[in-house]
Amino acid sequence: MIVTSIRYFIYTTFLCSALGAGALFFVLHHQWIDLRALEHYNPGTPSLVLDDAGNELMRFQLDKRKPIALQHMPKHLLDAFIAAEDWDFFNHLGISWKGILRSSLVNLYHGRIVQGASTITQQLVKLLFFDAQKTFKRKLKEQLCSILVERQFTKEQILETYLNHVYFGCGIYGVEAASQRFWNKSAAELTVDQSAMLAAIVRSPGSYCPLLCPLSGQQRRNIVLHSMHKLNFIDDATYTYACAHPLALYEQEKLTYAPHVKEMLRVFLEDLVGKKVLYGDGLIIQTTINSHMQQAAEHSFKKQHAQMSKTLSSDIDGALITIDVHSGGIKALVGGADFTQSKFNRALQARRQIGSIIKPLLFAAALQEGLSFTDTEVDEPLVFEQGNTVWKPNNWDLKFRGPVTRAYALSHSNNIVAIKTLLEIGADKLVDLAKKCHINGPLHTYPSLALGAIDVTPVEAVGIFNIFANNGMYVQPHAVQWIKNKWGTKIWKYEPVLETVLPAHISGQVAKVLELGLKRIQKYFKHEWIDTQAISKTGTTNESRTCWFTGSTPEYTTAVYIGFDDNRPMGKYVYPIRTALPVWLGMQNKVKSKNKFFVYDPSLQEIIINERTGLLARNEHEDGAIVIYV
């Protein structure tokens, strides 16, 4: 006891010298750290995320900790952690003198902290009181606090608190929560090999968590079992059997509801309010997400993805995003087929060539320059030469139709007339309009711009197309309306971005033509078509690398794309009508719409023309007759 006291006095004196003359006095008398946190740990109040109806959508909370008393834990679980983390736990005073000496020599050699000597007590102190910053000063503070903790609490209290707080990866804290997640049982029922697996993870959860790295986790588990055997915690037979036993993880039902939405919100909110506030301060977060539409979107996307996985390839993927026409609030978002396989949010992050869904913008720019949908242009072969490069654009079916109206060209997605229209008005006019619609990528004024030779994300695409459903008004897609603190005080509110990018009579003319193209498609889906007015534009990039569908009802605008992540071709005869469009249709059929008709600028007048000649037709039942606005 005297030797122990002398060691303690010498070591704390050394720490005071290293940290400053008044450090120890400050620690002991000014509550530099509250050791009662070991007994009264409070992870904070979860932040609740609400859908657009005010119902709980999800929550952000600090952890998934489920405490369990030490007496309910099997001995081999305690042995596993002792063997893996701190062989001398029941003998030392909170720090390991041998470990400190060894690590100090290594760290001095390297001039920085590259090796630790953390006991279980030190790890607990770090978990509760310190960040992960590796500095000598912080390490000294950690060691001093560990000694103080050992003097105030029993070994059993320290070990129990540690096992209920230690992190196992994937947001899982504590042995009870880990046991439930990995094997669907209480920690009281763990076998030797399972106990060793838990002890194996804590050294590096990102490297050894079996949900993420099952092979390296199993290898690390066997190392822990070897340590247990070496310390005589288990006999030869138990060691051999446990090493040979498979991980046999519990196949938990995948929590697939809105995973990309939750990740999108997490990133946004952590950046806005900070992690500590988000996970512990009990915020109320009002989103624009509609739970019913989100479920419908996920169901439709997965159904179509399953079909395409059979006909195209198992690694086909894509995205969907739906916004409110007038507010821009995101109502549903699917960032990919399987969040557990890929966290990449394609709805926000995937940059794909826009293809023909740029054509509504092109013809809107043309109308602004005085051209008309009744004007005719010749659909014929074109040749562009620049140096040694020759470009001969074609239509999707490799056919040319001679004179056609611009209304025909847009509703049939004719490439040749689109290029001629761009050359007539000047590419800079389309570039200027695209920038007003918040396209962030580079915009080059080549003739291929008319065919969508620029990259956009689905969230950009839905914002562009929405202007034709919203009378020329651009609204910024967003997912959070406001945030209140736990006392109900609003601490943040979304400031709408509303910009008029087109006159209403221009956007209305384009929308009417876009309705024509969708009506032609309708015959292929007549038994499952929606009961509201709708406009749309499809897009297919070179070699069917991306299939786009953008569509609007009077209430909601959606963008869907289908394609491989590496942008390789999907094959011949792969078009949006059989890939992207069914995703929209499947979702939209489950949405109840209050408003079934668009409201257009009252100055617009309907006329009936022949889609080839542009001449007035007697009625809409004539061959080639179409109804447009002027």
The pLDDT tens digits for 245-256 are: 998 888 765 555
Q: What is the pLDDT of residues 308-338, one digit of tens each?
A: 999 999 999 999 999 999 999 999 999 999 9
Cβ atoms of 288 and 478 within 8 Å: the answer is: yes
Confidence grade of residue 96 (pLDDT, cut at 50, 70, 90): low
Mean pLDDT confidence for 276-282: 88
Residue 437: name the closest of 462, 471, 407, 474 by CA.
Answer: 474
Q: What is the pLDDT of residues 491-546, one digit of tens each?
A: 999 999 999 999 999 999 999 999 999 999 888 887 788 999 999 999 999 999 99
Residues 299 and 378 in one domain: yes
Is residue 50, in this structure, part of any structural domain at all?
no
Mean pLDDT confidence for 99-122: 59
Residues 25 and 73 in one domain: no
Q: Interior CA angle at 435 toward 431 and 439, to 5°? A: 110
Residue 467: name the closest of 371, 560, 537 by CA.
Answer: 537
Q: Could you give the percent of the chain with pLDDT greater than 70? A: 86
Residues 198 and 310 in one domain: no
Cβ atoms of 359 and 323 within 8 Å: the answer is: no
The residue length of the chain stands at 630
Q: What is the pLDDT of residues 421-477, one digit of tens each?
A: 999 999 999 999 999 999 988 899 999 999 999 999 999 999 999 999 999 999 999
H helices, E strands: number in the chain: 23, 20
* Confidence check: pLDDT of 412 > 70: yes
Question: Looking at residue 340, what is its pLDDT?
Answer: 80
Q: What's the whole-model pTM score? A: 0.76
Confidence grade of residue 108 (pLDDT, cut at 50, 70, 90): low
Is residue 227, in this structure, part of any structural domain at all?
yes
- Specify the higher pLDDT residue, 64 or 526: 526
* Confidence check: pLDDT of 15 > 90: no
Residues 104 and 191 in one domain: yes
List the CATH number of the domain containing 403.
3.40.710.10
Q: Could you give the percent of the chain with pLDDT greater than 90? A: 68
- Specify the higher pLDDT residue, 326 or 87: 326
Is residue 621, in this structure, part of any structural domain at all?
no
Domain boundary, last residue among 244, 266, 300: 244
User: In this structure, how many other beta carbons lie within 10 angstroms of the beta carbon of residue 499?
Assistant: 13
Is residue 279, in this structure, part of any structural domain at all?
no
Q: Interior CA angle at 479 toward 256 and 585, to 5°? A: 60
Domain extent at residue 189: 64-244
Question: Looking at residue 94, what is its pLDDT?
Answer: 66
* Confidence check: pLDDT of 31 > 50: no
Mean pLDDT confidence for 242-266: 83
Confidence grade of residue 130 (pLDDT, cut at 50, 70, 90): low
Residues 20 and 69 in one domain: no
Question: Looking at residue 7, what is its pLDDT?
Answer: 40
* Share of the chain residues as helix, strand and coil, in percent rounded to the nearest 5: 45, 15, 40
Mean pLDDT confidence for 386-403: 92
Residue 580: name the closest of 281, 380, 346 by CA.
Answer: 346
List the CATH number of the domain containing 232.
1.10.3810.10
Residue 97: name the closest of 146, 63, 134 by CA.
Answer: 146
| Phi (first) and psi of residue 237, to 5 degrees | -65, -45
DSSP symbol at 553 = -
| Phi (first) and psi of residue 619, to 5 degrees | -155, 165
What 3-state DSSP class applies to 595?
coil
* Confidence check: pLDDT of 159 > 80: yes
How far is it, in rounded angstroms, from Cα 59 to Cα 252?
Answer: 20
Cβ atoms of 483 and 278 within 8 Å: the answer is: no
Residues 240 and 156 in one domain: yes
DSSP symbol at 253 = P
CA dist 236 → 76, 228, 241 (Å)? 15, 10, 9
Residues 342 and 409 in one domain: yes
Least confident piece of the model among 62-76, 134-148, 297-311, 554-568: 134-148
Q: What are the tokens at 347?
A: 């709805």
Sheet (strand 47-50) strand order:
56-60, 47-50, 284-287, 480-484, 490-493
How far is it, in rounded angstroms, from Cα 396 to Cα 302?
Answer: 28
Question: Looking at residue 211, what is its pLDDT?
Answer: 85
Residue 450: name the closest of 501, 395, 404 by CA.
Answer: 395
* Confidence check: pLDDT of 185 > 80: yes
Least confident piece of the model among 2-16, 150-164, 199-213: 2-16
* Confidence check: pLDDT of 262 > 70: yes
Q: What is the DSSP string of 132-180?
A: S---HHHHHHHHHHHHHHHHHS-HHHHHHHHHHH-B-STT-BSHHHHHH
| Phi (first) and psi of residue 376, to 5 degrees | -110, 155
Mean pLDDT confidence for 125-154: 70
How far is it, in rounded angstroms, from Cα 217 to Cα 195?
Answer: 13
Question: Looking at residue 206, what is its pLDDT?
Answer: 84
Is residue 3, in this structure, part of any structural domain at all?
yes
Is residue 605, in this structure, part of any structural domain at all?
no
Cβ atoms of 530 and 585 within 8 Å: the answer is: yes
* Confidence check: pLDDT of 183 > 80: yes
Question: Looking at residue 63, what is its pLDDT?
Answer: 59
Residue 628: name the closest of 598, 608, 602 by CA.
Answer: 608
What 3-state DSSP class applies to 101?
helix
Confidence grade of residue 566 (pLDDT, cut at 50, 70, 90): very high
Q: What are the tokens at 8?
A: 């303690």
Residues 224 and 156 in one domain: yes
Mean pLDDT for the chain?
Answer: 87
* Confidence check: pLDDT of 209 > 70: yes
Q: Are strands 535-540 and 546-552 parallel, antiparallel or unpaired?
A: antiparallel
CA dist 216 → 188, 222, 254 (Å)? 25, 10, 23
Least confident piece of the model among 55-64, 228-237, 396-405: 55-64
Residue 12: name the closest of 119, 103, 116, 140 by CA.
Answer: 140
Amino acid occupying residue 156 = E
Residue 450: name the closest of 422, 412, 431 by CA.
Answer: 422
* Confidence check: pLDDT of 373 > 60: yes
Residues 216 and 338 in one domain: no
Q: What are the tokens at 554?
A: 């009077």
Q: What are the tokens at 355?
A: 């293809």
Is residue 255, in this structure, part of any structural domain at all?
no
Question: What's the domain count of the chain?
Answer: 3
Residues 331 and 435 in one domain: yes
Confidence grade of residue 27 (pLDDT, cut at 50, 70, 90): very low
Least confident piece of the model among 25-29, 108-112, 607-611: 25-29
Domain boundary, last residue among 212, 244, 276: 244
- Specify the higher pLDDT residue, 171 or 138: 171
Residue 147: name the closest of 87, 95, 97 by CA.
Answer: 95
Residues 89 and 147 in one domain: yes
Residues 224 and 343 in one domain: no
Is residue 627, in this structure, part of any structural domain at all?
no
